[in-house]
Amino acid sequence: MTIDSVLTEARCRVTTIHGRHDPLFGGRSPAPNLESLSLLIHDMREGSYDLGLATDGDADRIAIVDETGAYISVNDLLVLLYWYMVEVRGERGPVVRNLATTHMLDRLARHFSQKCYEVPVGFKHIASAMQEHGAVLGGESSGGLTIRGHILGKDGILSSALIVEMLAKTRNKVSQLQETVFDLVGRLYAAELNEPATPEMRVLFPRHLQQTNVETLAGYSVTEISTLDGFKFHLEDDQWLLLRFSGTEPLLRIFSEADSPAKARALLDAGRELLPL
């Protein structure tokens, strides 16, 4: 595996899981999400490791597990890496995210007197905005990211090496770095769900929302509605709800981010209630 080679050359001690070539992925989903990382989490908790890394089948998306065996969301990881690039590496510049990715990046960009640019879902939009604005980092909550000066495409090999570099340079564990960054930007919690979508729903639902005056969601005031890609309802304090149709599956995807897990779930419920009966 390429990651093994890169990390071994950097004198890291590496233990590999599922490293053999298998086009069927052992019957499992190759997506590097929490549901598919049970063995990695188990080994992290039983062994003495600093970091657990996982990629999908073509190694363009990444997931990580910290030294305690806790899964670290990609949203949290993107915030850590943007902090590292600016605070430790000394890079200067904005950050780019898609509209389904954490607004903690917006908060951190403001802390650095920089801007966070929001783009539609699709890494081509992130790459284009990075070129246009000279961004330090671009990423999406589904696990893809890249940095300035590298290829304009998501790269899990680069991401893995960059995370290891961050730990080596700072001499901190992932959990310690999270505490540092959350002290700067606070904490937001993401949630999501998928609803089956028919072709008729793709036509009727946007019309329904355009004709519906949405002033509150889960009891919280809506401050702005964006139709950049689906319908995104902005609330106070960088909280939001997004409803958009998947471009690859017959699904309506509902995302939320709020200052507590309970509030994030309440926003998902409020989003489901917007669906026409």
Domains of the chain: 2-72 (3.40.120.10), 74-185 (3.40.120.10), 189-273 (3.30.310.50)
Q: What is the pLDDT of residue 33?
A: 78
Q: Is the pLDDT of residue 23 over 80?
A: no
Categorize the per-residue pLDDT at 81 as very low, low, confident or very high, splitting at 50, 70 and 90.
very high
Cα torsion at 193, 198, 202, 206 (round to 10°)?
-60
Q: Which of 68, 108, 91, 254 is nearest to 162 (CA)?
A: 91
Residues 33-63 as b/e (b if ≥16 CB within 10 A, e otherwise) read: beebbeebbeebeeeebebbbbbbeebbbbb
Q: Is the pTM of this model over 0.85?
A: yes
Q: Which of 234, 73, 198 is nearest to 139 (CA)?
A: 73
CB 62 within 8 A of CB 33: no
Q: What is the pLDDT of residue 2?
A: 80
Q: What is the pLDDT of residue 174?
A: 97
Q: In Å, how far are 12, 182, 246 from 120, measured between CA atoms?
A: 37, 26, 12
pLDDT digits (tens, 9 = 90+) for 175-195: 999 999 999 999 999 999 999
